Chains A and B, each alone.
Chain A
Amino acid sequence: MSYLPFAVAAWLFAVGLYGIVTSRHLIHLVICLSVLQSSTYVLLLAIGYRTGASAPIFVEIPPGAPVVDPVVQALTLTNSVVAATVSALLLALAVQVHKKAGTFDPDELDILHG
């Protein structure tokens, strides 16, 4: 049980990367990248979790009560929003590629054939 969160994080990383490697569609690729990114969120939050502790919001709990680690949550919070704008940038690039090359399939792009 105690290793399940770390196993899930590794699984999401592997499955996201597998999707990227085998992708035949640039938009599919961007979505797989977002799955890969989410593996880091699961890993960070799993590391910072403490059994029996509350969320780090001191509104209805007394000062000094055990709470989970706020540092990893702050890392994840900003990242999830910034990652979405980066996904938007990649989607815009994919649309641009589709306009220039007429296809979303990375294998059909001449420019990628070295």
Chain B
Amino acid sequence: MSFNSRRNLFFLGMLGFGVLYLWGLKGLPDFGRYEGVYGITLNKVAVAQTHATNLVAAVTFDYRGFDTLGEEFILFAAVVGVAILLRAQRDEAATADEEAEESKDESRSAPHTSDAVRVLGLALIGPTVLFGLYVVAHGHLTPGGGFSGGVVLATAALLVYLTGEYVALRRVSPESLTELAESVGAGGYAAVGFLGLLAGQAFLTNVLPLGTTGQLNSSGTILLINLAVSVEVAGGFSLILAEFLEQTLLVRERKHG
């Protein structure tokens, strides 16, 4: 399809979309006047029912827990897909590299890290890990939780790379460990769901003791699922990072080592 006909098709589609969108907007309440039944009901009962003060976490990991399990497996599948795609290339590249070992070219290797980046990166690794753990652990109390906290934890691995300690990156997040974390996180979520079945209730029912509202150790399975999700997200993002970095790392290692 030519460029112009593609663009014309787009404008035609947008026209149809615009009509449908305006039609849909007519059925929506005005901005700021939403009276959703579920939201209003949850606002009244959720804290008493789940002992979690962060309603978003209560909805994500309890009321909509089964749906989040599905999202969890989308994440899992996407990360596995990245690993498979990039690993196939790496194996090909490794064989090609052996043949072309003699003709090393400088442009392929990453530039040398400056001292300022190294010092700042090193100084930030500790606080980043701590902040990530804090966000994860307080997910049921304050904004945060396994999804955002897991990504924060994974950026700590990026900082390790930025400081130029590529060997250290391999040591803090070896492939087998990130793979394990990703799978254990995904499986752990489902395993917590089976606790409900063991107790003779529905899958993912919050059967654990709820504790005192506002305490770190409260809200039953929400806390456990939150931790499982954080392990999976941190593992998954570190794995993506490592898979994308692998090529550059190989080059660097050969140059310096």
- CB <8 Å contact, A57 and B55: yes
Known A6-B25, A21-B6, A81-B147; contact A74-B34, beta-carbon cutoff 8 A:
no
Beta-carbon nearest neighbor of A60 in chain B: B53
Residues B30-65 near A (CB distance < 8 A): 30-34, 36, 38-40, 42-44, 46-48, 53-56, 58-60, 64
Alpha-carbon distance A6/B110, docked complex (angstroms): 44
Can you name 22 A-B residue pairings with CB atoms under 8 Å?
A10-B17, A18-B10, A21-B7, A49-B31, A50-B32, A50-B34, A51-B32, A58-B47, A59-B141, A63-B47, A64-B43, A71-B64, A75-B64, A77-B147, A81-B148, A82-B78, A88-B78, A89-B85, A92-B82, A95-B86, A96-B85, A99-B89
- CB <8 Å contact, B44 and A64: yes
Q: Does A56 have its Cβ within 8 Å of any Cβ on chain B?
A: yes
**A: interface residue count bin:** 35 or more
**Which residues on the B side are within 8 Å of A99 (C-beta)?**
89
- CB <8 Å contact, B54 and A74: no
Q: Does B177 have its Cβ within 8 Å of any Cβ on chain A?
A: no
**Which residues on the A side are within 8 Å of B85 (C-beta)?**
89, 92-93, 95-96
**Which residues on the A side are within 8 Å of B81 (C-beta)?**
89, 92
Q: Does B224 have its Cβ within 8 Å of any Cβ on chain A?
A: no
Q: Does A67 have its Cβ within 8 Å of any Cβ on chain B?
A: yes
- CB <8 Å contact, B148 and A5: no
Known A21-B7, A57-B142, A59-B53; contact A92-B14, beta-carbon cutoff 8 A:
no
**Which residues on the B side are within 8 Å of A82 (C-beta)?**
71, 74-75, 78
Q: A57-B53, A70-B59, A85-B240 are in contact. List 4 more A-B contacts (CB 8 A).
A: A47-B29, A48-B34, A58-B54, A70-B55
Residue interface bits A42-85, CB-to-B below 8 A is 1, else 0: 00001111111001111100011011111111110111111011
- CB <8 Å contact, B31 and A2: yes
